[in-house]
Structure 1
Amino acid sequence: MKKATLTKDEKNRLVALRKLDIIDTQPEKQYDEIAELASYICETPIGLISILDNDKQWMKACVGVENCEAENNFTFCQYAIKHEGNLFEVNDARTDERFRNKAFTFGDDPVVFYAGVPLRNKEGLTLGSLCVIDHEARSLTEKQRKSLLYLANQVINLFEIRIKNNTLRESQKLLKEKNTQLKNFAGVVSHDMKMPLANMIVTIDIIKAKYSKHFDESGLNYINNLKQSAFKLSDYISNILTHYESDSITEENALEEFDLNELLEDIVEMLDINEDCEINLPKKNLQIESNRVALEQIFLNLIGNSIKYNDKEKIKIDIGCSFDDFYYHFYVKDNGIGIPENKQNEVFNLFTTITEADRKGNKGNGIGLSTVKKIIHNLGGHIELESKLGDYTKFKFQVERP
């Protein structure tokens, strides 16, 4: 068989083929079904989705044959992909001057009939063909030709989806690498800053203890403000570390069974609450099987916020829990300052603060609730809130049961 020139713009065609990244991939059901349907509709023993590289023909789908690769100089598809029309049809290769002097076989039988639709991408570059083959001379009916064209369009659609998925995977890979770099950078910087900050706080205390009598009231205020700023920065760094380490919290800590109220009592003790505060634990205590460390971080943040962002003389916090076959359902409700309705969709955004200051006049850093949402997502759940300004805030969340 005489070797044909594949396309006028072979370089761009091969670039598009590399972008498709389909040669030598595993069989896929969608392609196999199209090739089988083409064979069935056209009543031929062989149906193929053929991809042409610069030196070989490779079949993404094969029906009726086992050999999925051939050299380009011995393929009908090389003619099909340069064909300017929508369908390249050879009724009897034995009488066609282009093929009659060359024997081409699939298995033990010669290729006599061939019909192939060029698979052109949106740039008009032909990457391969959808073809049917018979060992006897024949012609397709008009309905069969039309059906073959429709099936070829579906192959092209699959190609476009594959390219989009390849691009998305590359973008996801790049984003993951950038995110890992950012996490590592945040971790290193945060850890490196904590020790100097601790030294700064200790040094401020020493200065106050030894030299406070040498300062006037303004000087002492400066010292106190410096210490407060150092504590605030330390808290900010700790929250950043918690946020970027939240993935490892859910990945590295295995499920365990524990007493929910015992966990909540430990959290209340950790918070070291000095305000007039009433915390009502779930009336029905439950044995939970979940990630204890992750739930501790969630409740520590939510209960802490209920205390910090509360303007009532007596703080009241209600905590509830229930479960069904798939999830544990929790809520934390307080009688605090509430969240404006037009701000409720923003509270889980990283570095977003809704209120000017907390109960003690300190401004938040907008990290805690973003971390909570991230942890809950990693536990297979979601979080939402109800709130009325000046009255209450209720966070409801769920996590998957094992």
Structure 2
Amino acid sequence: MVRARTVDERAQAAALARYHLFDGPPEPNLQTVVELAAQLCQVPISVLFVLDAERQYQVAAVGIDTAECRREDSMCSVALVAPHPMFVEDASADPRFVNNPFVTGELQRFRFYGSSQLRAPDGFVLGTLCVFDEAPRVLDEAQRQGLDRLARIAIDVLELRRHGFMVADLLREQQRTAAALEGANQTLRQFAAELAHDLRSPLTGVLSYAAELQLLPAVNADPDASWCTDRISAAAQRMGTLIDDVLRQATTAETGQAVHLDLADVVRQVLDDLAVPIADAHAEITVGAMPTVIGDVTQWRILLQNLIGNAVKYRDPRRPCRIDVTARTGPDHVRVCVADNGIGVPVEERDRITAPFTRLDPGDGLGHGIGLSTCARIVHTHAGWLEMSDTPGGGLTVCVVLPRR
């Protein structure tokens, strides 16, 4: 008996496993292929075989019940390594098959054998589409070409099957990911609730102390002291509102109410909240004309507070800190930019720093790496995007680009 082996039998077996022919439902379209092959070649027997390192398996067949056999006994093990489709008029006269059990009568008494390889897109030959007859036979050229086309159709059917299983695997993975994400979201919601509770306690104290100070005659008599207590009270009230809004968005599926808002008011509130670090940095901040946009007030405050706060935080110590907040309204988009003359960000790092917990210098002690990722997420929820570029003369310019509607 002829034993023809390929050098890539293990790889071929791995390629064969991707089609799930033995751990999934039968493929009815393959049965149609073998029926067409029998009709085309006018033979009583047509089979689609696949082979691994040890055995030959029948996937679809007409006129025969043999489900599998040893690879050593398979006629297709020879065709598997042949350079072209194989057509044998009389196998009993062919030295490659004269002692084969499918020819001698031990298993069958085949005389005519024709086959075309099932070659996958990655190059592996998975098996063959075969036709048999118990009498010698010659196929004409149209029949031979037709059998080869049917073999290619069988591969297309197998590829569709493989992709179907891939889609099913992806859906299962998506379901697992969704379940894991829901668990993580639940943890984050609980953390947000606990954090909000922890923040409210000192905030309540600040509001209480500020209210008591405002009642003191000495404070009321001093314009500067009265101005300071008013600022403390206003800042604490804004912080309380911010905590409530963030908690609402973290513990529900809501993303906030989209309203018309004046960005000039939002920028003023942000600059007021950042008054201390701005003063410490001796930062000169100019604000241009701001448009009215549609969006969530809380998210816009967080967005601009992060961008302006980063511009202050990452200033260049070798020169005075200057920050320009500008806006430009086009026919389709609104562009709001924060330009600084700070230390800047290398071009190759700009995509990376929008990932959560990413910091260019973990040892600088200036942040936790969540500011820009938060900005990117907020802009995404508003159907926009972030653009980063060099500020002329040095520094970084970050622009929020949003559709007008």
Same fold (TM over 0.5): yes
String of CA shifts for 1:199-232, please: whole Å, max 9, x gaps. 5336644653566212521221122122112112
Shift of 1:99: 2.2
Letter in 1 for 2:259: Y
Equivalence for 1:347: none
- Given the two structures, how large is their TM-score scaled by the length of structure 2? 0.57
Equivalence for 1:131: 130
Report if the CA contact (8 A) 1:32-1:62 is conserved. yes
Pairs aligned (count): 266
The counterpart of 1:88, out of the listed 86, 89, 95, is 86
Q: Distance in 1 between matches of 2:161 and 2:64?
A: 25
Judging changes above 3 Å, is the alpha-carbon distance between structure 1 residues 46 and 25 closer, same or farther for their aligned structure 2 residues?
farther
Equivalence for 1:318: none
Report if the CA contact (8 A) 2:87-2:115 is conserved. yes
Shift of 1:13: 2.3
Q: Distance in 2 between matches of 1:226 and 1:122?
A: 61
Judging changes above 3 Å, is the alpha-carbon distance between structure 1 residues 144 and 176 closer, same or farther for their aligned structure 2 residues?
same
Letter in 1 for 2:46: G
Report if the CA contact (8 A) 2:46-2:132 is conserved. yes
Equivalence for 1:385: none
SS at match of 1:117: strand
Letter in 2 for 1:95: A
The counterpart of 2:241, out of the listed 228, 246, 252, is 228
Judging changes above 3 Å, is the alpha-carbon distance between structure 1 residues 356 and 189 closer, same or farther for their aligned structure 2 residues?
closer
Judging changes above 3 Å, is the alpha-carbon distance between structure 1 residues 112 and 35 closer, same or farther for their aligned structure 2 residues?
same
Report if the CA contact (8 A) 1:355-1:363 is conserved. no
SS at match of 2:101: coil
Q: Distance in 1 between matches of 2:123 and 2:301?
A: 62
Report if the CA contact (8 A) 1:49-1:59 is conserved. yes
String of CA shifts for 1:99-136, please: whole Å, max 9, x gaps. 22343279975222211101112343211000111121
- 1:56-71 to structure 2, matched below 5 A, reads 56-71=55-70
Q: Distance in 1 between matches of 2:260 and 2:381?
A: 16
Q: Distance in 2 between matches of 1:8 and 1:108?
A: 28
Report if the CA contact (8 A) 2:101-2:108 is conserved. no
Equivalence for 1:13: 12
- Given the two structures, how large is their TM-score scaled by the length of structure 1? 0.57
Q: Distance in 2 between matches of 1:211 and 1:14?
A: 76
Q: Distance in 2 between matches of 1:51 and 1:121?
A: 12
Equivalence for 2:42: 43
Q: Distance in 1 between matches of 2:106 and 2:39?
A: 19
Q: Distance in 2 between matches of 1:210 and 1:176?
A: 51
Letter in 1 for 2:153: Q
Letter in 2 for 1:90: V
Shift of 1:233: 1.2
Judging changes above 3 Å, is the alpha-carbon distance between structure 1 residues 23 and 80 closer, same or farther for their aligned structure 2 residues?
farther
- 1:1-400 to structure 2, matched below 5 A, reads 2-23=1-22, 25-85=24-84, 87-104=85-102, 109-201=108-200, 204-205=203-204, 208-209=207-208, 212-214=211-213, 216-239=229-252, 242=253, 305=257, 309=259, 355-356=294-295
Q: Distance in 2 between matches of 1:237 and 1:207?
A: 25
Report if the CA contact (8 A) 2:210-2:233 is conserved. no
Decide which structure has the larger Cα Rg and report it: 2
Percentage of identical aligned residues: 21
SS at match of 1:44: coil
Shift of 1:54: 0.8
Letter in 1 for 2:82: H
Letter in 1 for 2:40: I
Report if the CA contact (8 A) 1:201-1:231 is conserved. no
Judging changes above 3 Å, is the alpha-carbon distance between structure 1 residues 81 and 369 closer, same or farther for their aligned structure 2 residues?
same
Shift of 1:14: 2.6
SS at match of 2:139: coil
Q: Distance in 2 between matches of 1:166 and 1:211?
A: 65
